[in-house]
Each structure stands twice: as C-alpha cells, then as structure tokens.
C-alpha cells in the first residue's frame, strides 16, 4: 500500500526492508518494503520490524502505530521461503541491528503499550496473516485475501498463529483455515470477526489515519491498560506480568510510593499513616 494520504509523513531511521515514518501529531507508519516478494519477510525484515516497534514503543511522541505493506498486491505473504531462517548470506547486515525472528516481531506488537492498527491490502497469507492477527485492530481493503499455507509447505504456527486465531473467530473456523489452507475474502474476514472494517483500497491509509486520530483523543493510560488486560488473559503469566508492570508505573506516581522511596533514601522508617492507596 502506497502512502497516498495527504498526511505529512517524516521518514526516520535507516532501513532496507521496511520504512518508518511519523506524523507531528503522534502516528507512526511502519511499512514492509518488499513488493517484489509480496512483502514476504526474511531475517533482515524481522530484525528491522522488531527494531522499528521498539523505537515506536520508546518514543513518547508516538501514540498509535500503523502497520502495512508496500503496494496494493500484499500486506505480507509470510516468510520468504527462498531465504532460510537465520541466513544472512547476501545481506549487508547493519552492525547496530540485532537478529530477530518473526516471533520476536509478534511479541513486540503485543508488548508495545500503544494501539497497533494493521492496514491489509492484498494478500495476508501465512505469517502475514498472523502479523495482522496480533495487531490490536485490522482494517482491510476490499480486495484483501487471507489464509494459511503451513501444512501445505511443511510449516505451522502453534503459538499465536492458531491459538489467537481460535480466540478471535472460534476453534472450528481457525482449524478450517489452518487445516485446509484455503483463501478467504475481506468480506469473509469481516463476517468472522478477523478484521474490524473493509474499505476501498484507495481509502485504506486515510481510514487508518482517521482511526489513529480518534485514538489520539483517548486516554493513553486507559488504552494501555485495556490492551494489557486483554493480553493478561490471552498470554498467560507473561501477559499478567505486563499488566502488573503497567500497574506499577501508575503506582509509582502515588504519594504512597513516593514516601516509601524517600524513607529508603533518608534511611528512616516509612510513615504510611494517613496515606490512602492511589492518592
């Protein structure tokens, strides 16, 4: 999907397989830039995506992230099977970039404390479908196609791939998608609850920006804790740990926490009398 919107984007970072752009009002746009491969990811792509999401996570000016693929043919067609996992041959690997797998990218999307919206144009197949599944919201172009290829090519995703899908659309539908490796239209995806909306391809980016700007009007802390609360149920103890960490960040701003820290630094017993939780 090309950035046809009138929104002013500022390119940031030095990437090969992706681009990272931001707006002045707090939106980040991460685009997989491999249209010749239907935006399939190789090890470098995964590493750059993980780096970009980490950058967005720690940038206080960014409050919403959009994820998409270059061109109208594909959001992401999954793994580039012509490149073996972990193979850096023929790649000018940046020294500052740590290796990462697509699982690291999935976790980065889940862990970022900001809403992530997938803008799906064309194919979201295999690992590409899982990428949009782990995003918080998904908007699809009318010509988008979804599906899995795992059992057909000797692969599978037993983590978020099938389990999160089962939570989103039910176990029978999830098994149908994974077992039969068929293709499904954007309308199928909308009816099943796999995406939030379907729009004409030429309106996809503008719609994503409009949704992002609605989110910019919301309480960042409330959105953060809502996301963490859902993840706590879906991600087991790791999700609970994330929710607990978010709760700690709020707690550290209270008078109770300030008294505890001050008492430690002043080498005295804390005085919690008259202190009410979350004052």
Which parts are annotated binding residues for substrate? 38, 123-127, 155, 252
Determine phi and psi for 28, rounding to 5 degrees: -110, 140
Annotated binding site: 38, 123-127, 155, 252
Alpha helix stretches (DSSP H) within 20-124: 43-58, 102-111
CA 69, 28, 133, 157 torsion: positive or negative?
positive
CA 17 from chain centre, in angstroms, equals 17
Rounded to the nearest 10 degrees, the angle between the axes of helix 160-169 and helix 127-134 is 60
Rounded to a whole number of angstroms, the CA Rg of the chain reads 21
Give the integer Cα–Cα distance in Å for 6 and 242.
Answer: 36
What is the C-alpha separation between 161 and 182, in angstroms, rounded? 15
């Amino acid at each position: 999907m090309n950035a046809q919107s009138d929104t002013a984007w500022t390119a940031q970072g030095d990437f090969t397989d992706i681009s990272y752009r931001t707006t002045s009002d707090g939106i980040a746009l991460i685009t997989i830039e491999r249209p010749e491969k239907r935006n399939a990811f190789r090890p470098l792509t995964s590493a750059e995506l993980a780096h970009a999401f980490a950058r967005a996570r720690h940038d206080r000016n960014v409050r919403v992230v959009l994820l998409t693929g270059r061109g109208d043919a594909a959001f992401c067609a999954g793994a580039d099977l012509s490149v073996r996992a972990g193979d850096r041959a023929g790649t000018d690997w940046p020294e500052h970039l740590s290796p990462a797998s697509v699982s690291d990218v999935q976790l980065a999307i889940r862990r970022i404390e900001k809403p992530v919206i997938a803008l799906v144009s064309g194919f979201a197949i295999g690992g590409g479908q899982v990428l949009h599944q782990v995003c918080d919201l998904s908007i699809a172009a009318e010509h988008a196609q979804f599906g899995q290829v795992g059992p057909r090519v000797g692969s599978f995703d037993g983590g978020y791939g099938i389990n999160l899908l089962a939570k989103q659309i039910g176990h029978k539908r999830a098994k149908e998608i994974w077992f039969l490796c068929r293709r499904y239209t954007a309308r199928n995806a909308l009816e099943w609850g796999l995406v939030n909306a379907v729009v004409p391809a030429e309106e996809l980016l503008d719609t994503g920006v409009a949704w992002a700007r609605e989110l910019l009007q919301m309480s960042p802390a409330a959105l953060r804790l809502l996301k963490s609360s859902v993840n706590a149920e879906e991600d087991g103890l790791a999700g609970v740990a994330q929710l607990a960490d978010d709760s700690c960040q709020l707690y550290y701003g209270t008078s109770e926490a300030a008294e505890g820290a001050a008492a430690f630094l002043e080498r005295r017993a804390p005085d919690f009398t008259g202190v009410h939780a979350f004052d």
